[in-house]
Amino acid sequence: MEMVELGRTGQQVSSLALGAMQMGNATDEPDSIRILDRFTEAGGTFIDTADCYEWWGFRGSRGGQSEEVLGRWMADRGNRDRIFLATKGSGLPTHDDALWAADGTPNWDLARRTFAGAGADTLRKALDGSLRRLGTDHVDLYYVHVDDRSTPLEETLEALDGLVKAGKIRYLGWSNVRTWRLEAIKQLCDRYGWTAPVAVQQQHSYLRPNPSVDNVSIVGNEQLDWLRANPGTALVAYSPILKGIYDNVAKRSQFTDYTGPDTDARLATVDAIAGETGATPNQVVVAFLMAQDSPRVVPLIGPRTPEQLENLLPAADVKLSADQLARLSA
């Protein structure tokens, strides 16, 4: 697996990142360990989690299971210094029995209204909890998981800068955020000399979002333009294969957020290039994203099973020609 620079930090990370969201819940610990071992054997170094993963997994959960699995795995393998470790804070909702319906279904509407937020004390406590579960004294990348517009940005940024200076965080990131907020964050960091984010984690794939979609988490043209103008901020793209729809024709109509006038043409081009390369459509999409450098894109895959990981790892070896990249882009 190739290595790429994260923003303009000089820090090299694997060109493919592994999302650990489901580890410890939807993916049991033995399978989680198999996935982690296989990813690192393949040259992967960039692993992503969050303090809230997966609070929605079962009634009464407060999350943290993913971080705990990662902590045990790193301690057992003795490989913490070889892992570029990312976690997140601000996304854990306030505990309330109403977070789960009678059948155990999570109440996402209530969760979104009661996220912990990015207040200074909240972030400090959240990070300390993450470090304890991960069994480490620092994380390499720490995201504000859910952009908090009720807390002054100055409070959040000053607190995060203090945590960087304290050695608990190496680099900062932001997730689920509007473009104008990224610009406001950049300007405040420039003004006060605070540590600026070097990564933004958003949902991004090969299909373009429906023009009518207004979703803070999905990258649109304006955000891509801002990222091109600010190459110090890398795009870490979660859900790059949209739950595998490129390989599953029956699922393609389910993602209405990504239906538009060019959807059929884009899917046809992916299918054609998959036939030319001998790769799967999912692998072609991941390879296409890995090839982007303006802005730099690091696809973040989240396999639930070892088999799903094996189906995606070959994307790292798919070499798309200049003609194929141009056809996909067009």
Query: Using one digit for the tens of pLDDT, what is the confidence trace for 26-44?
Result: 999 999 999 999 999 999 9
Catalytic one among 53, 143, 206, 246? 53
Q: What is the pLDDT of residues 99-148, one digit of tens each?
A: 999 999 999 999 999 999 999 999 999 999 999 999 999 999 999 999 99
Q: Tell me which amino acid residue 125 is.
A: K
pLDDT at 252 (0 to 100) = 87
pLDDT > 70 in the chain, percent: 100
Structure token pair of residue 122: 């909240």
Instruction: Say how far residue 175 (Cα) sits from the centre of its chain.
Output: 8
pLDDT at 160 (0 to 100) = 98
pLDDT at 255 (0 to 100) = 84
Give me the long-range contacts of 60-66 (CB less than 8 A, separation at least 24). 60/100, 61/25, 62/92, 62/95, 63/92, 64/129, 64/133, 65/23, 65/24, 65/25, 66/20, 66/21, 66/22, 66/23, 66/24, 66/25
Q: How far apart are CA 55 and CA 65, in angstroms?
A: 8
pLDDT at 254 (0 to 100) = 82
pLDDT at 253 (0 to 100) = 81
Of 41, 44, 61, nearest to 53 by C-alpha is: 61
The dihedrals phi and psi of 219, each to the nearest 5 degrees, come to: -70, 130
Q: Tell me which amino acid residue 143 is.
A: Y
Identify whether 53 is a catalytic site residue.
yes
pLDDT at 117 (0 to 100) = 97
Of 76, 86, 84, 71, nearest to 135 by C-alpha is: 71
Q: How far is CA 181 from CA 197, 223, 315, in A?
A: 12, 11, 33
Q: How far is CA 166 from CA 69, 95, 124, 163, 255, in A?
A: 26, 30, 11, 5, 43
Instruction: Say how far residue 256 (Cα) sits from the centre of its chain.
Output: 21
Taking the chain (330 residues) in runs of 10, the rounded mean pLDDT of each run is 97 98 97 98 98 96 97 98 98 96 94 96 98 98 98 98 98 98 98 98 97 94 97 98 94 88 96 98 98 96 98 97 97
Structure token pair of residue 268: 């046809």
User: What number does CATH give the domain 3-329?
Assistant: 3.20.20.100
Domain ranges of the chain: 3-329
Beta strand pairing call for 12-14 and 3-5: antiparallel
Burial 180-189 (b: 16+ CB within 10 A, else e): eebeebbebb
pTM: 0.97
